[in-house]
């Protein structure tokens, strides 16, 4: 397991200004409610982080019920994708290499993973689990020792998403020792599902924030959009604040989870080299869904800044902000439009 880790996404603060939410203030920022429209917010510990669901609605009872239903749906999906739960379908697939009767939620998310893998030229690759396992094993043996080159070469040979086969409701990993991680996609999909539940109930003005994986719809009021602040990896003032009425934001960064106290490796892996990228300190993506923002922010963190931003500029409705390890700021062509 990664050591000295924070929640996977703690780099975005969500809400409508700078007042801390309940539960330690780890999940977002909101303005005190005005008399216009009641806003019900509830925070729970889920998925290794704090998850906040906020619904703005004229009926407080309706909003409270909608928030509860959103949490129920998230709790139904979490056991499907958790690779650290030995009983989860994903863990069974990784352990036995065959999963019959695969839940449609898992099959669909793996198909999405294939699409993002192709879209990003392979910089997003959920088949990096063998390398992540090597990093964890090395840190347990001796955290001051870098990865063994021969062991790394052997694990990289297993990073092969094409060796995942699916038909009907069965999934097969064709190579002994390979494995999948949906850490860069599953939490976003679960947040998207919560947002979809809220919309289906008629709670059109809402925000779901899972430790910085953020999905919004509508606004805090008819006149006020939801506001998201991007934190500085090194502390201090926010590098940027954006306003959203519909869509999602997610950030990937080296600050999130480290293997060992010496910080030789972190949880984001370049699937081509098996090494943890060092060029950026964070990559933030605005997209239509959190799953898409998750996958693309991971890919951006791995790719060169020029290649990454070229990809983002080619995708309609997608924007990105990159913060380099040296502190410089690089943004996609339309990022500044998110300020209004």
In this model, does residue 245 exceed pLDDT 90? yes
Domain that holds residue 305: 1-340
Confidence at residue 169, expressed as pLDDT on a 0 to 100 scale: 77
338 Cβ partners below 8 Å, 6+ apart?
242, 243, 244, 286, 319
Percent of the chain with pLDDT over 70: 85
Q: Give per-residue pLDDT as tens, 294-307.
A: 999 999 999 999 99
- Write out the binding residues: 184, 294, 298
Q: What DSSP element (H or E) covers 155? A: helix 149-156
Q: Give per-residue pLDDT as tens, 255-267.
A: 555 444 555 555 6
Could you give the dihedral angle defined by the CA atoms of residues 93, 255, 295 and 333, in that order, rounded to the nearest 10 degrees? -170
What is the spatial distance between Cα 282 and Cα 125, in angstroms, rounded to a whole number?
Answer: 18
Structure tokens at 100: 């019959």
In this model, does residue 13 exceed pLDDT 50? no
Q: What DSSP element (H or E) covers 313? A: helix 305-313
What is the spatial distance between Cα 10 and Cα 254, in angstroms, rounded to a whole number?
Answer: 12
Confidence at residue 11, expressed as pLDDT on a 0 to 100 scale: 36
Percent of the chain with pLDDT over 90: 66
Confidence at residue 15, expressed as pLDDT on a 0 to 100 scale: 41
Confidence at residue 254, expressed as pLDDT on a 0 to 100 scale: 64
Residue with tokens 């092969």: 160
Confidence at residue 306, expressed as pLDDT on a 0 to 100 scale: 95
In this model, does residue 207 exceed pLDDT 90? yes
Q: Give per-residue pLDDT as tens, 152-186.
A: 999 999 999 999 999 877 999 999 999 999 988 99
What is the spatial distance between Cα 221 and Cα 227, in angstroms, rounded to a whole number?
Answer: 12
Looking at the structure of the chain, the number of domains it has is 1
What is the spatial distance between Cα 98 and Cα 182, in angstroms, rounded to a whole number?
Answer: 17
Confidence at residue 329, expressed as pLDDT on a 0 to 100 scale: 93
- Write out the binding residues for Mg(2+): 184, 294, 298
Domain with 63 in it: what CATH number? 3.10.520.10
In this model, does residue 92 exceed pLDDT 50? yes
4-13, 31-40, 58-67, 83-92: least confident range: 4-13
User: What is the rounded average pLDDT of the residues 10-29?
Assistant: 34
User: What is the rounded average pLDDT of the residues 102-106?
Assistant: 95
Q: What is the mean pLDDT of the chain?
A: 85
């Amino acid at each position: 397991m990664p050591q000295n880790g924070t929640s996977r996404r703690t780099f975005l603060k969500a809400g409508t200004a700078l007042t801390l939410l309940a539960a330690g203030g780890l999940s977002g920022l909101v303005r005190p409610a005005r008399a216009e429209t009641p806003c019900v917010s509830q925070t729970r510990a889920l998925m290794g982080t704090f998850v906040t669901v906020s619904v703005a609605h004229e009926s407080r009872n309706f909003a409270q019920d909608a928030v509860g239903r959103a949490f129920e749906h998230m709790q139904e999906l979490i056991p499907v994708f958790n690779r650290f739960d030995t009983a989860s379908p994903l863990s069974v697939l990784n352990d036995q290499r065959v999963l019959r009767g695969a839940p449609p939620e898992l099959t669909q998310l793996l198909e999405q993973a294939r699409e993002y893998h192709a879209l990003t030229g392979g910089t997003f690759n959920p088949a990096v689990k063998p390398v992540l396992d090597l990093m964890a094993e090395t840190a347990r043996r001796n955290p001051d020792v870098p990865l063994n080159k021969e062991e790394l070469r052997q694990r990289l040979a297993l990073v092969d998403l094409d060796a995942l086969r699916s038909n009907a409701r069965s999934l097969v990993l064709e190579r002994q020792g390979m494995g999948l991680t949906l850490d860069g996609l599953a939490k976003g999909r679960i947040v998207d599902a919560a947002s979809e539940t809220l919309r289906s109930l008629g709670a059109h003005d809402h925000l779901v924030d899972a430790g910085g994986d953020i999905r919004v719809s509508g606004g805090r009021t008819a006149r006020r959009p939801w506001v998201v602040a991007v934190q500085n990896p090194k502390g201090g003032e926010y590098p940027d604040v954006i306003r959203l009425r519909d869509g999602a934001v997610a950030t990937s960064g080296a600050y999130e989870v480290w293997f060992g106290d010496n910080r030789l490796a972190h949880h984001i892996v370049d699937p081509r080299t098996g090494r943890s990228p060092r060029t950026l300190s964070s990559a933030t993506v605005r997209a239509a869904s959190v799953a898409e923002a998750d996958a693309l922010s991971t890919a951006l963190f791995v790719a060169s800044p020029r290649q990454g931003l070229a990809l983002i500029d080619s995708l309609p409705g997608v924007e990105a902000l990159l913060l380099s390890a040296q502190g410089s700021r690089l943004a996609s062509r339309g990022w500044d439009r998110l300020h209004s």
